[in-house]
Amino acid sequence: MNNGTVVKLIDVHKIYRSGEMEVQAVCGVSLEIQRGEFVALMGASGSGKSTLMNLLGCLDRPTRGQYLLDNTDVSHLNRDQLADVRNGKLGFVFQSFNLLPRTSARENVELPLLYGKHQLSYPQLRERADRVLASVGLQGREEHHPSQLSGGQQQRVAIARALINEPEVLLADEPTGNLDSRTSVEIMGIFQELNDRGITVIMVTHEQDIAAYAKRNVLLRDGLIVNDFAVANRHDAATEMERLARSTMDEDK
Amino acid sequence: MRVGSTLNVAFRALRRNKLRSVLTALGIIIGVAAVIAMVGIGNGAKAQVEMQIASLGQNVILIFSGSTTSSGIRTGWGGAGTLKIEDAEAIRREVSGVIAVSEEVRSTSQVSAGNQNWLTQVLGESAEYLDIRQWPLADGAPFTPQDVRSANKVCVIGRTTATQVFGNDDPVGQVLRIKNVPFIVTGVLTPKGLSALGPDQDDVVIMPYTSAMKRVIGGTTLRNINVQVGDARQLPAAQQQIISLLRQRHNVRAGKDDDFTVRGQQEIADMATAQSKTMTLLLGAIAGVSLIVGGIGIMNIMLVSVTERTREIGVRLAVGAHGRDILTQFLIEAVALSSVGGIIGIAFGIGASKILSIYASWPTLISLTSIMVAFLFSAGVGVFFGFYPARKAAALDPIEALRYE
């Protein structure tokens, strides 16, 4: 994958109106993210990081300003055009996984393909879904329903679903918010691995030590970027896993 | 999104909530079954009436004597005695297209044979009568034109009369006393069943009208004249000719009312079928109401389903579903519920009408049209009542849908 700007926000505003009240959720954010970056968006609740994430995810349109995704202006697209952008260029991972209940892992992963531009045959769908599931370590779990999977496994299914259309950007909204610390490290491991393969990852989190797995941290407050820096002491998930394993062994002794 | 996967997704969603799907479909099943059965009963009744009207004979015109008023009491048709035997002969002679004419008189008389007696309808007719009514004999022979000319004491009898008076004996050749006048039974008619308006048509004795007038009833005038025309297209012309011929013969001045009534068979049929049509419509409408109630059930469940699956809708929208895809998915679910319910309902409806015709001996008639209409209507109910919930689902905002708890 070549380098270059994949996400470019130019003075983006988002204002919500509820009756007489106007809420400035994002007020004048400019941000550039290069291909292959791993960015953590940080901030307290109400800082506008979720709104920014929705804008980046093309789930919402900015009130003012411009959003160039992969050099295409997506600020003024309509509902269906945004849906096509989400389907083709973006992958979503949510805090609460958002898998379809009583539906197998494979079918959950196939979901974006059903709404894709290219119509695949059922064997093709299945082959692709199984390949991506294997890449996140879920070989042999294709037929399992979400209720039969652990939280970490469910989040892996969600990651596989986000990856199935080979997106430009993987967007994760508090991906470890519902997971214990060990599973969180596992998921961060997957993100780092994907990032090493060249996938751009943008992740919202309020946890300092989760953000430390990213390469770059962007701090928001009151709808504005207040800090933007490269992570100095970056956590490495593989090392972290080893450390966790050692400490468990110590406890056993 | 392709049709196959949309169908697949919709059916999977229905299977996930089996009991709920079955109960929802039940509303439509009952509605459609009711429509099928009710319209079946209505159509059955209509068909029976039409068959009975047809049994009056083909292309028949009936001419009744006018009614008369004496001391303020009006008699029914035939009471005035304005029709003469000569009128019938004139019609036979002068009206074009006429192939058969039967002079008719009737009375209710006590008949007896051996130690049995029975009150029955006595008809005096010409020898052509049985041909006009297309009423063959089961046994024996009809009376002849010669019998009519000579006013012979012969008669044919209906099945009911035969059973009541002669029991299991063969009536042909036996003596039947009508108002104490002995008649020879020459034949027994095939059973014709109940008439459109109720009376048993087989409870009858038919004899030459001459014999009836001379020996049983008395009088010189006819109750009515049955005229049969060879071709249906000649009916209106023949009817007009009869009216002007009779007006001329009866010296009815221009501007005065006819002293007789001419009825085409079609008019009688129209009256009778109009009644049964009204009944079919009424039954169908009542059943239709239950179908609409079933539709409201579908709408209710679809609204619940949309609310419950808000997150699912959010996920689908987030990964690239268009509003149209969501709309189609929920619409297909609603239509699947209603049309599967429709198909089962049709089966139940057919079953119910079969049971009704066997155990309650109500005639039922299920036409392919009523099945098609019921099916399309149930699918239509699905589209109509499914559209609002489906549109509501499609219009959801993905962000809010994903956040929905």
SS3 annotation, B62-95: EEEECCCEECCEECCCCCCCCEEHHHHHHHHHHC
Instruction: Name the domain count of chain A.
Output: 1
Domain match, B169 and B288 both: no
Of A60, A11, A32, the residue nearest A200 (C-alpha): A32
Domain match, B248 and B297 both: no
Structural domain contains residue B58: no
Domain match, B128 and B19 both: no
Mean of the per-residue pLDDT values of chain A: 91
Q: What is the pTM of this model?
A: 0.73
Q: Nearest CA to CA, how far is A204 from chain B (Å)?
A: 15
Domain match, B205 and B288 both: no
Whether residue A137 contacts residue A160, with contact meaning beta carbons closer than 8 Å, is answered with no
B147: domain range? 83-258
How would you list the strands of the sheet with A200-205, edge to edge?
A90-93, A169-173, A200-205, A38-42, A216-221, A224-230
- pLDDT digits over A46-100, tens only? 899 989 999 999 999 999 999 999 999 999 999 999 999 999 999 999 999 999 9
Structural domain contains residue B240: yes
d(CA B47, CA B41): 10
Chain B residues touching residue A86 (CB < 8 angstroms): 318-320
Contact B398 A59 (CB under 8 A): yes
Whether chain B has a CB inside 8 Å of the CB on A79: the answer is: yes
Question: CA of A229: how far to CAs of A232, B218, B293, in Å?
Answer: 9, 126, 64
Span A224-233, mean pLDDT?
93
DSSP chain A: ---SEEEEEEEEEEEEEETTEEEEEEEEEEEEEETT-EEEEE--TTSSHHHHHHHHTTSS--SEEEEEETTEE-TT--HHHHHHHHHHHEEEE-TT--PPTTS-HHHHHHHHHHTSSSPPPHHHHHHHHHHHHHHTT-TT-TT--GGGS-HHHHHHHHHHHHHTT--SEEEEESTTTTS-HHHHHHHHHHHHHHHHTT-EEEEEE--HHHHTTSSEEEEEETTEEEEEEE-SS---HHHHHHHHHHHHHHHH-
Q: What is the pLDDT of residue B390?
A: 95
Contact A54 B399 (CB under 8 A): yes
Structural domain contains residue B266: no
With a pLDDT cut of 70, the percent of chain A lying above it is 98
Chain A residues touching residue B326 (CB < 8 angstroms): none
Whether chain B has a CB inside 8 Å of the CB on A119: the answer is: yes
Instruction: Confirm whether the ipTM is greater than 0.90.
Output: yes
Q: What is the pLDDT of residue B11?
A: 84
Domain match, B141 and B8 both: no
Contact B318 A59 (CB under 8 A): yes
Structural domain contains residue A204: yes
Nearest CA in chain B to A163: B319
Q: What is the pLDDT of residue A216?
A: 96
Chain A residues touching residue B311 (CB < 8 angstroms): 98
d(CA B259, CA B256): 9
A145: domain range? 36-57+77-252
Contact A98 B311 (CB under 8 A): yes
Task: Give, for B260, the enclosing helix (H) or strand (E).
Answer: strand B260-264
Chain B residues touching residue A111 (CB < 8 angstroms): 315-316, 319
Backbone angles phi, psi at A32, to 5 degrees: -125, 130
Domain match, B103 and B216 both: yes
Chain A residues touching residue B16 (CB < 8 angstroms): 102
Structural domain contains residue A6: no
Strand partners, A34: A5
Domain match, B173 and B242 both: yes
d(CA B100, CA A53): 95
Contact B315 A111 (CB under 8 A): yes
Domain match, B182 and B133 both: yes
List CB contacts of B44: < 8 A, sequence separation 6 or more: B353, B357, B362, B363, B364, B365
How would you list the strands of the sheet with A5-18, edge to edge?
A21-34, A5-18, A64-69, A72-73
Structural domain contains residue A159: yes
The residue from B195, B223, B258 where one domain ends is B258
Domain match, B249 and B294 both: no
Quickly tell me which residue has 């010189």 as its tokens. B220
Instruction: Name the domain count of chain B.
Output: 2
d(CA A86, CA A115): 10
Q: Which of B312, B325, B398 sits opposite A115 (nearest CB)?
A: B325
Structural domain contains residue A4: no
d(CA B308, CA B401): 11
The residue from B258, B293, B314 where one domain ends is B258
Whether chain B has a CB inside 8 Å of the CB on A60: the answer is: yes
- pLDDT digits over A136-192, tens only? 999 999 999 999 999 999 999 999 999 999 999 999 999 999 999 899 999 999 999
Chain B residues touching residue A112 (CB < 8 angstroms): 319-320
Contact B319 A57 (CB under 8 A): no
d(CA A188, CA A214): 9
Structural domain contains residue A115: yes
Contact A86 B319 (CB under 8 A): yes
Domain match, B236 and B168 both: yes
- Say which CATH number the domain at A161 has: 3.40.50.300
Query: Per residue of chain B (405 residues), what is the pLDDT tens digit?
Result: 567 777 888 888 888 888 999 999 999 999 999 989 888 888 888 887 777 777 777 788 888 887 655 556 666 655 567 888 899 999 999 988 899 999 999 889 999 998 889 999 999 999 999 988 888 899 999 999 999 999 999 999 999 999 999 988 899 999 999 988 999 999 999 988 766 556 788 899 999 999 999 988 888 888 889 999 888 788 888 988 998 998 888 888 887 778 888 887 777 777 777 777 888 888 888 888 888 898 999 999 999 999 999 999 999 999 999 999 999 999 999 999 999 999 999 999 999 999 988 887 778 888 888 889 888 988 999 999 999 999 999 999 999 999 887
Domain match, B321 and B240 both: no
Nearest CA in chain B to A87: B320
Domain match, B334 and B383 both: yes
Q: What is the pLDDT of residue B72?
A: 61
Is the pLDDT at A2 greater than 70? The verdict is: no
Q: What is the pLDDT of residue B67?
A: 64
Q: Residues of chain B whose C-beta is under 8 A from some C-beta in A?
A: 1-2, 5, 9, 12, 16, 311-312, 314-325, 398-399, 402
Chain B residues touching residue A161 (CB < 8 angstroms): 319
Is the pLDDT at A6 greater than 80? The verdict is: yes
The residue from B258, B291, B313 where one domain ends is B258
Q: What is the pLDDT of residue B330?
A: 93
pLDDT category of residue A1 using cuts at 50, 70 and 90: very low
Q: What is the pLDDT of residue A138?
A: 93
Is the pLDDT at A130 greater than 90? The verdict is: yes
Q: Is B325 helix (H, G, I), strand (E, B) or coil?
A: helix
Structural domain contains residue B162: yes
Question: CA of A61: how far to CAs of A218, A222, A238, B5, in Å?
Answer: 21, 19, 38, 30
Backbone angles phi, psi at B183, to 5 degrees: -120, 150
Structural domain contains residue A30: no
Structural domain contains residue A165: yes
Structural domain contains residue A23: no
DSSP category for residue B55: T
Q: Which of A86, A98, A101 sits opposite B320 (nearest CB)?
A: A86
Of B148, B198, B149, the residue nearest B45 (C-alpha): B198
Contact A116 B320 (CB under 8 A): yes
Sign of dihedral through CA atoms B198, B204, B208, B211? negative
Whether chain B has a CB inside 8 Å of the CB on A120: the answer is: no
